[in-house]
Structure 1
Amino acid sequence: MDHHEFGAAVRHLRESTNPATVGLPVGRRRVQGLRREELGELAGMSADYVRRLEQGRSHPSAGVVNAIARALRIGRAEYERLCALSGYAAADGQVPNEIGPGAMRLLERFTDTPMFVSDGAMNLVAVNSAFLALGHWTLTGDHWEWNVAWRTFCDPFVSFRQSAADATDHEAVLVAQLRSTLLRYPADASLAALVDELRSRSRRFDTLWRTPRPVTAYESSAEFVHPDGAAVTLVGNLLAIPGDDLAALMLTAAPGSADAARLAEIVSGAGHPAIVKVGQPGPG
């Protein structure tokens, strides 16, 4: 466990906390955020102990991690990260899959851009109609049919094509995401079952799990073959949504390209823009 990384995270949270949000007077301050003395008082510990934590000279107990989280009133994602950095499982240990207002706004504002929102286990939580219009995400009836990692390693899409280099980047991101999520949510039985199934069903995934490739970019290109036979090449960019511990994937074409024109045709044929929450009937 890297105590310095935990300490750096605590210091960043302390310095980025608005005193007013934790019930302290703002006034004229010489330092950004909270002082160590203020965090110590709120969390029930000395300022010197806060200093040792931030310098990586002390290992916190689970109670200390919880006290700091309560004192700073941090969100779920930040709390889970502190727990992971200190080597403890979070209180409930379940991967969150509720789509919050921030993620919903992304889907609502980019109606002409194929997009989905996934949880930390790479299960799709919600998609927009532009994404469904691509017509490549076929349903199989399998338990993991809406999981990106499962569909990539165990049940690939016929209408989704990548170069060897792009496939390498894509797989590296998926494995890195799952490894990070399992570290944050070690008690999530469904996540553990998914990883076990992937390792047993896919030799490629198992190899990457044991010896991960470095993630060089959180984007990759792919060719989507529409049901009408025409293809469109899009670049997928993965964006973190920290407050909900979710991620959004946006698929875009090069501006002014033939692919951009083709994408506009596909999206326009999708009808009225809608957001569909996966696993629930009808538009979200």
Structure 2
Amino acid sequence: MERHEFGVAVRQLRESTAPATVGLPVGRRRVQGLRREELGDLAGMSADYVRRLEQGRSHPSAGVVHAIARALRIGRAEYERLCALAGYAAADGQVPNEIGPGALRLLERFTDTPMFVSDAAMNLVAVNSAFLALGHWNLTGNPWEWNIAWRTFCDPFSGFQQSAADATDHEAVLAARLRSALLRYPADASLAALVDEMRSRSGLFDTLWRTPRPVAAYESSAAFLHPDGAAVTLVGSLLTIPGDDLSALMLTAAPRSADAARLAEIVDAAGEPTIIRVGQPGPG
């Protein structure tokens, strides 16, 4: 059954891969996605072997799984799924932090909406200028200053205020996501160090780690205090980008509200929309 499911997954990925995304000419095509011969050439195997894999008549080695994943340029989550279907552990235990085309499209299309993209360890990977325009994210000098969970539990923002109910939901999501990340990436030393440090620094986080709260909602409201003294209340909605194991958080105001008008003023004052790649110790 696993061999059959692996073959089905490879065929679906092959047929959904645009030739241009793997460096092949488009031209006129009678088939959807890549041909078996093209996948074979890219992965260093014969088209017949690709056919036998897709039909469940051959069991791939770990190297073959890696070669197919590399040839199709799939994200971390899809690579892990192929490994699991083939009966192997993923070769790389590090949290991926490369921003993919899907995440970039979100940032490019919602320029007037404060948004950031984070990896599975809750490190910011990229933000748009609308998010930075809120002016609440101050650098502290801590090694994890661009980690959302660290800033929430160990070094809270002075310009970010939530009700008790919203804070409870927000904290539960962060702790649950870090726990899930550590299970998926047990070899990531930086992630393990982050969790250990947070458990020693924050009694609340340590309690949540030992006794997790159920996640009630993947969105919460907060008031952002702008440096000019005015506040704007926004709702953060979490979106997953599974192919790259990334997440995007969009901050929106109630339509036609005073907060919506205030947000528009803040974003307009920020000037030309831009996307900023984020690293440590700050934006790069």
For Structure 1 versus Structure 2, the TM-score category normalised by the shorter chain is 0.7 to 0.9
| Aligned-partner Cα distance in 1 for 2:277–2:177 | 22
The answer as to 2:198 corresponding to 1:198 is yes
| Aligned-partner Cα distance in 2 for 1:76–1:171 | 26
| Aligned-partner Cα distance in 2 for 1:163–1:8 | 50
Aligned pair count?
Answer: 255
Which consecutive segments of 4 or more residues in structure 1 shift more than 3 A?
6-25, 43-47, 62-75, 81-89, 280-284
* 1:235 equivalent in structure 2: 235
- What is the CA RMSD across the aligned residues, in angstroms? 3.4
| Mapped contact 1:43–1:68 kept (Cα < 8 A) | no
Provide the identity percentage.
73
| Aligned-partner Cα distance in 2 for 1:159–1:69 | 47
Task: Name structure 2 gaps, 5 residues minimum.
Answer: 16-31, 38-48
* 1:138 equivalent in structure 2: 138
Q: Deviations over 1:212-260 (max 9, x none)?
A: 1122221111011111111111000111112222111110000001110
Q: Deviations over 1:50-108 (max 9, x none)?
A: xxxxxxxxxxxx95796499489554212224557999642121111111222122112
Q: TM-score normalised to the size of structure 1? A: 0.77
| Aligned-partner Cα distance in 2 for 1:142–1:191 | 15
Say if 1:13 and 1:169 are closer, same or farther in 2 by CA, change over 3 A.
farther
| Amino acid in structure 1 at the alignment position of 2:236 | G
* 2:45 equivalent in structure 1: none
Question: What is the DSSP-based 3-state SS (H/G/I as helix, E as strand, rest coil) of the residue aligned with 2:276?
Answer: strand
| Amino acid in structure 2 at the alignment position of 1:192 | A
Say if 1:216 and 1:254 are closer, same or farther in 2 by CA, change over 3 A.
same
The answer as to 2:210 corresponding to 1:210 is yes
| Amino acid in structure 1 at the alignment position of 2:154 | C
| Mapped contact 1:116–1:131 kept (Cα < 8 A) | yes
Q: TM-score normalised to the size of structure 2? A: 0.77
Question: What is the DSSP-based 3-state SS (H/G/I as helix, E as strand, rest coil) of the residue aligned with 1:234?
Answer: strand
| Mapped contact 1:83–1:184 kept (Cα < 8 A) | no
Say if 1:40 and 1:186 are closer, same or farther in 2 by CA, change over 3 A.
farther
| Aligned-partner Cα distance in 1 for 2:143–2:223 | 26
| Mapped contact 1:154–1:198 kept (Cα < 8 A) | yes
The answer as to 2:60 corresponding to 1:42 is no
Structure-to-structure mapping, 1:8-157, within 5 angstroms: 13=9, 16-17=12-13, 19=15, 21=33, 23-24=35-36, 41-42=52-53, 46=57, 63=61, 67=65, 70=68, 75-81=75-81, 89-157=89-157
| Aligned-partner Cα distance in 2 for 1:237–1:199 | 26
Say if 1:214 and 1:266 are closer, same or farther in 2 by CA, change over 3 A.
same
Question: What is the DSSP-based 3-state SS (H/G/I as helix, E as strand, rest coil) of the residue aligned with 1:122?
Answer: coil
